[in-house]
């Protein structure tokens, strides 16, 4: 079974790391079920294992934490739904790329519940939306904004960290970093796209689409991770 946990209050990042560490150890020992933990953080920046110092453009703005997950710098804060996913890949197949694909599938299916077409991009982990209403890039290509980030860590084939979906965060807060090291694209949210979506709406959509992404079926055939 996968236990679903929803925290109503904002969780400090060090407390979240400690809680995940304990749960992952228990899952690995066979003394706890897999878990999906839905929460929000206060405003902060996190640095993944590939973070570059020059991508932290405003280091004094919010606390900065070493996330000990894959990826680069990202922002977490109010209005963003974070989902920490703690699954046992010993039972689900020891394939981290497939797991990341399924996380992307999950986000894409969740966004589709609100009529938003989320897309994956070669060489860019996360989920993106095309913005034809914005001015094109200098090369004439359509603008794209990131709506969800993905960063994972695996220990003894048990996963932790996970995804974040921008529901209604303060998008200006992303300006203190180069999100995920990508300078040529922006960020957006469901509310920024004109959708009056609440955190509860997103939680319900995540629950509805979970089985489709993580049930016993192949990951998306379009995933090339």
User: Tokens representing 99?
Assistant: 């797991």
Reduce the DSSP state of residue 101 to 3 states and report it: helix
Q: CB-based burial of residue 29 (10 Å sphere; 0-12 exposed, 13-18 middle, 19+ buried)?
A: exposed
Would you give the distance in Å from CA 188 to the centre of its chain? 13
CA 69 → CA 42, 66, 72, distances in Å?
A: 19, 8, 9
List the structure tokens of 142: 């359509």
Rounded distance, CA 22 to CA 19, Å?
5
Where is the binding site, in residues? 69-76, 149-151, 162-164
Task: For 48, list phi and psi in degrees, rounded to 5.
Answer: -85, 180
Query: How many whole angstroms separate alpha carbon 222 and alpha carbon 213?
Result: 14
Q: Active-site residue numbers?
A: 180
Sheet holding 64-66, edge to edge: 64-66, 44-47, 73-76
Which residues are CB-contacts of 176 (< 8 A; sequence separation ≥ 6)? 45, 56, 57, 58, 59, 61, 62, 75
Which residues participate in the annotated binding site for substrate?
69-76, 149-151, 162-164
């Amino acid at each position: 079974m996968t236990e679903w946990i929803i925290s109503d209050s904002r969780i400090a990042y060090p407390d979240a790391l400690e809680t995940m560490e304990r749960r992952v150890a228990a899952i690995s020992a066979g003394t706890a079920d897999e878990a999906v933990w839905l929460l929000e953080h206060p405003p902060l920046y996190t640095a993944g294992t590939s973070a570059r110092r020059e991508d932290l453009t405003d280091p004094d703005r919010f606390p900065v934490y070493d996330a000990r997950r894959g990826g680069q710098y990202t922002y977490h804060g109010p209005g963003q739904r974070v989902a920490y996913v703690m699954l046992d890949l010993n039972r689900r197949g020891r394939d981290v790329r497939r797991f990341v694909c399924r996380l992307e599938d999950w986000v894409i299916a969740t966004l589709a519940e609100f009529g938003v077409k989320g897309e994956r991009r070669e060489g860019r982990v996360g989920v993106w939306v095309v913005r034809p209403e914005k001015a094109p890039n200098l090369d004439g290509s359509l603008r794209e904004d990131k709506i969800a980030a993905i960063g994972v860590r695996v220990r003894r084939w048990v996963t932790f960290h996970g995804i974040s979906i921008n529901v209604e965060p303060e998008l200006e807060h992303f300006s203190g970093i180069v999100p995920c090291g990508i300078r040529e694209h922006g960020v957006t949210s469901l509310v920024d796209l004109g959708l009056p979506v609440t955190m509860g709406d997103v939680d319900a959509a995540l629950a509805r689409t979970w089985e489709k992404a993580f049930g016993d079926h192949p990951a998306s055939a379009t995933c090339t991770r």
